[in-house]
Amino acid sequence: MKLWLNQLKQAVPSDLNTPAELARFELESAFPGVAFDLCQQDSMGDAYRIEPLGTDGFRLTGGNTGLLYAAYRIITDRLCGESLSSPVASSPAYALRMVNCWDNADGEIERGYSGRSLFFRNGRLDYSDDRIRMLGRLLASSGLNVLCINNVNVHFPAQLLLEDYLPGLARLAGIFRPFGIRLMVSVDFSQPMRHGTGTADPLDPSVREWWKETASRVYAAVPDLAGFLVKADSEGRPGPFAYGRNHAEGANMLAEAVKPFGGVIVWRCFVYNCRQDWRDTGTDRPKAAWEHYAFLDGQFADNVILQVKHGPFDFQVREPLSPLLLGMKKTKLAMELQLAQEYTGHQIDLYTMIPMWKELYEELPSDRIMSVAAVSNLGDDENYTGHPLAAVNLYTYGLLAWNPAVDAVSAVTRWCRLTYRFTPEQEQTLVSLLLSSRRIYEKYTAPLGIGWMVTPHDHYGPNPSGYEYDLWGTYHKADRNAVGIDRTHSGTGYLDQYPEAFREKYGDPASCPDLYLLFYHRLPYDFVMRDGRTLIQRIYDDHFEGLEETRSMAEKLLALPFPEPDAAVIRVRMERQLYNAREWCDIINTFFHRLSGIPDGKGRTIYD
């Protein structure tokens, strides 16, 4: 199957040791005969300058990794038919551009839709060096530089990465090193208890000592480890709450242990009550992260990064930017995205994420955001991402992590051109289909920001009330008159967590953008929207349109001359998406029709 950079015919050899060496290899094998002058300036780090040299040569200046990024810049530009005629300089917007794999040691991937783990098999580190090197090239060429290889839910024996499996981890880090990719490990907050501390209390001296010794041992084996990733006190994971400590106390203790080695602690903020009583209307899950973290602003150590999901729920198709990302001005933050299509079609349905990310980046303040992270969509399927077109999300995630100002059309076009050899017209068709896919998916799934109408647990396909009476805090409370939760000041108060301008825009149904309407407001079905349509008519219209647009998308996509086996995989998955889109459209419409009793104003079929 086609991967971007498939035009590079030579595999990366195993005897390269540094990014600068790899940069030279990639350039020389891609463009034999072209002159390249590489000037390493370590202080430049990831940054680089490229200057034309003579008639067909270049001078590259940069840090060790900067030279590699410069090399991939030249290579991808050329493969895309662009030539660098004047000097360019570039440096990344975010220092840590991370991918979080949710791989378990048994080889299963939590929310994985591309096969099994690339790193683990049968409870052990077990991987193909060649596939890892190919992955390294893919990640480095898109600008990504940190890879956490194990699930944030650290199930035994993943703990052994810091213990018996450490030599294997060191070897894997060595394979990734020439690609400028540093490993990260998800750690289990209670891990010292496996070694007799009797507690994991972050203020307990024996616990602190254990983590310091462990960090020292781990960094002796993997000196450039990026650090530890921690999911604590979340969905059953152990954490500082058990000892009456707050998350700053928990994170700072770990930060102290890795600090001497230049490591960071990435601390996830996905903390909420996952045992909520559906009858309890006093609790509103989106408020949880703010309530757990905002008051700790300024209390985290300098090498702690709080990793905050982009929205206040959990990777729904449409959520507002998390208030934590706007409000914690004295804390280092990372925004967490999800490449794995957990709620967005399981890498069966087309769902290109960049339009969504662009919306998020536009609202994101740049001053305290140090890093971005994305839950991986990788697996051991031949093409790494299951759906051949899902790779566009991995690639463009990297481009935006380097430079959020990159525009969506050019990023997606770049991926298409690096992957397939299409005519300009075909390429334009594909780019346009990819860019429209998110809005189409949004149209046929849960309406207007409400989210969560998915099959419980599995999260593919519709179930309008699947989570309605469950413990997860994700309710729409649709009844015969109205739907949605009032999250304004007069409702749950969630909106109070935002700055003034935000509150004003979203707080009034008259000014709230339509696509967020049911996230913030509870409205009757006959509510009249700005465009004159009623809420219920808008719901029907979106769903009928979403289905029609899927059919049209399928027709255009399947007419493109994808090479085999990509074509076959795309065809099969598109059949499944067509089925899924019809189920969503009809089920959501029927659900709201049964409740409201209001017929479609355009007389289309809504089933009983």
Q: With left for phi above 0 and alpha for psi between -120 and 50, is residue 376 left, alpha or beta?
A: beta
The catalytic position among 314, 349, 381, 566 is 314
Selection from 194, 214, 208, 264 nearest residue 240 by Cα: 208
Nearest CB to a second copy, comparing residues 318 and 593: 593
d(C-alpha 467, C-alpha 464), whole Å: 8
Tokens for 123?
């409870």
Q: How far is the CB of 577 from a second copy (least distance, A)?
A: 18
Nearest CB to a second copy, comparing residues 56 and 280: 280
392 sits in which H/E element: helix 391-402
Q: How far is the CB of 596 from a second copy (least distance, A)?
A: 7
d(C-alpha 117, C-alpha 140), whole Å: 20
Q: How far is the CB of 281 from a second copy (least distance, A)?
A: 7
Nearest CB to a second copy, comparing residues 9 and 457: 457
Nearest CB to a second copy, comparing residues 295 and 469: 469
Nearest CB to a second copy, comparing residues 182 and 285: 285
Tokens for 589?
């419409």
Nearest CB to a second copy, comparing residues 9 and 480: 480
d(C-alpha 251, C-alpha 189), whole Å: 10
Q: How far is the CB of 608 from a second copy (least distance, A)?
A: 6
Does 291 qualify as catalytic in the annotation?
A: no
Nearest CB to a second copy, comparing residues 418 and 450: 450
CB within 8 Å of 166: residues ≥ 6 apart: 217, 218, 221, 222
d(C-alpha 286, C-alpha 291), whole Å: 10
Q: How far is the CB of 522 from a second copy (least distance, A)?
A: 10
d(C-alpha 360, C-alpha 363), whole Å: 5
Residue 338, classed as helix, strand or coil, is: strand
CB within 8 Å of 164: residues ≥ 6 apart: none
Q: How far is the CB of 594 from a second copy (least distance, A)?
A: 4
Q: How far is the CB of 223 from a second copy (least distance, A)?
A: 46
The catalytic position among 56, 129, 235, 555 is 235
Does 359 qualify as catalytic in the annotation?
A: no
d(C-alpha 365, C-alpha 156), whole Å: 38
Cβ atoms within 10 Å of 32's Cβ, excluding its own: 7
CB within 8 Å of 568: residues ≥ 6 apart: none
The catalytic position among 233, 342, 381, 549 is 342
Nearest CB to a second copy, comparing residues 291 and 479: 479
Q: How far is the CB of 156 from a second copy (least distance, A)?
A: 23
For binding to a second copy (CB under 8 A), which residues are involved? 278-279, 281, 462-466, 469, 477-481, 583, 586-587, 590, 593-597, 607-608
d(C-alpha 452, C-alpha 280), whole Å: 18
Cα atoms in the 13 Å half-sphere on the side-chain side of 10: 12
Find the angle CA(253)-CA(93)-CA(338) to the nearest 5 degrees: 70
**Is the distance from CB of 576 to CB of 113 less than 8 angstroms?**
no
Selection from 197, 196, 190 nearest residue 158 by Cα: 190
Give CA 424 to chain center in angstroms.
30
Does 51 qualify as catalytic in the annotation?
A: no
Positions annotated as catalytic residues are 235, 314, 342
